[in-house]
């Protein structure tokens, strides 16, 4: 029996939250990194005795398209799993129901789901510092309850997740990071981009057609030399002010 966490986490909030959940599992946990554009996800094989966590951030209330494409390549083989959707304190809308549909389509046996909050990776003033101590405590409690559901031999109860089908329309953030004068062309951003949107030969700008606005390149730059337009981020922050300002709590569905 293996413990596996399957995670898409461009800026680390989803991974931090996933780790809080899987640290409660007694055993070493293997990570499948869905941000790796060079990985062949169809090569993974699981055993029905394995236990999995599938974790993605919410982008516009949906599963990020890249994560969805890569998840669909996995063969679930009846593996019992918990879903974890991480969002920036606005809303996760239809992300969890979409995750449930994808996971079931791949053959996973979905037993539990968690929605959790982490710092908003675009408008970073929202949910700053989350997951915090209170979140981690709650996530560990949720993890134990979900694990009981995962270990239970029969799965008679249907999960009632928040969200709607058909899902809301997917929309991109349209924010494409660029390098500034501090860029030394080290190429780390190009290496770490989940969708190969930055050419190592032309580090300056990302390919707007490929870029998913995940903010990974800004996050990994050792020289703080990449950013998106500050005016755009201010405008996004203003739009989000009403929906993001009030603290939202993590939720468990079993
Ligand atoms: C393109 C994009 C779209 C996002 N859309 C939402 C959203 O609809 N609702 C929300 O609350 N947070 C949203 N966020 C915030 C992320 O869900 C949140 O910051 C998450 O923790 C990012 O995960 P990561 O740190 O693993 O990359 C969005 C972030 C990005 C980059």
- Convert the pLDDT of each residue in 130-145 to its tens digit: 999 999 999 999 999 9
Exposure of 76 in the CB half-sphere (CA atoms within 13 A) = 21
Strand partners, 3: 29, 51
Ligand 1 atom with the shortest distance to the CA of 244: 11
Structure tokens at 46: 């699981």
User: In a 3-state reduction of DSSP, which class is residue 227?
Assistant: strand
* Domains of the chain with CATH codes: 3-166 (3.40.50.360), 172-228 (3.30.70.20)
**Rounded to whole angstroms, how far apart are CA atoms 66 and 86?**
16
Summarised one tens digit per residue, pLDDT across range 145-179 is 999 988 887 766 789 999 999 999 998 888 999 99
Instruction: Supply the pLDDT for residue 124.
Output: 94
∠ CA 143-144-150, rounded to 5°: 85
Q: Helix or strand or coil: residue 146?
A: helix
Ligand 1 centroid distance, CA of 52 (Å): 22
CA of 58 to the centre of ligand 1 (A): 5
Q: pTM above 0.75?
A: yes
The tokens describing 5, both together, are 């966490």
* pLDDT reported for residue 26: 85
Residue 172 Cα: closest atom of ligand 1: 1
Dist. CA 54–CA 238, nearest whole Å: 32
Residue nearest to atom 19 of ligand 1 (CA): 120
Q: What is the pLDDT of residue 170?
A: 94
Q: Which residues of the chain have pLDDT under 50?
A: none
Q: Which pLDDT score is estimated for 72?
A: 98
CB 114 within 8 A of CB 142: yes
* Among 120, 176, 250, residue to substitute to test ligand 1 (most atoms within 8 Å of Cβ): 120
Q: What is the CB < 6 Å shell around ligand 1?
A: 9-14, 57-61, 86-91, 118-122, 173, 213-215
Ligand 1 closest atom vs CA 212? 1
CA of 14 to the centre of ligand 1 (A): 9
The pLDDT of residue 115 is: 98
CA of 191 to the centre of ligand 1 (A): 22
Which pLDDT value is given to residue 157?
Answer: 76
> Mutation test of ligand 1: which of 58, 92, 163 has the most ligand atoms closer than 8 Å to its C-beta?
58
Residue 251 makes CB contacts below 8 A (sequence gap 6+) with 114, 115, 116, 162
């Amino acid at each position: 029996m293996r413990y596996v966490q399957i995670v898409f986490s461009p800026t680390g909030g989803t991974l931090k939250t996933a780790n809080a959940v899987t640290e409660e599992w007694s055993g070493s946990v293997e990570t499948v990194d869905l941000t790796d554009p060079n990985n062949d996800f169809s090569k993974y094989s699981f055993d029905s005795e394995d236990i999995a966590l599938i974790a993605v951030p919410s982008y516009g209330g949906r599963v990020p398209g890249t994560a969805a494409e890569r998840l669909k390549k996995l063969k679930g083989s009846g593996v019992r799993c918990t879903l974890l959707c991480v969002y920036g304190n606005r809303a996760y809308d239809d992300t969890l129901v979409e995750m449930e549909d994808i996971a079931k389509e791949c053959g996973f046996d979905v037993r539990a789901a968690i929605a959790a909050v982490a710092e908003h990776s675009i408008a970073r003033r929202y949910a700053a510092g989350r997951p915090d101590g209170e979140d981690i405590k709650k996530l560990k409690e949720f993890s134990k309850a979900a694990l009981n559901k995962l270990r239970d031999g029969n799965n008679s109860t249907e999960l009632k997740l928040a969200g709607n089908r058909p899902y809301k329309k997917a929309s991109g953030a349209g924010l494409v990071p660029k390098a500034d004068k501090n860029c030394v062309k080290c190429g780390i951003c190009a290496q770490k981009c989940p969708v190969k949107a930055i050419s190592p030969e032309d580090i300056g700008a990302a390919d707007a057609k490929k870029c998913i606005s995940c903010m990974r390149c800004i996050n990994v730059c050792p020289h703080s030399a990449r950013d998106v337009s500050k005016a755009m981020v201010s405008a996004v922050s203003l739009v989000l002010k009403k929906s993001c300002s009030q603290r939202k709590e993590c939720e468990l569905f079993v």
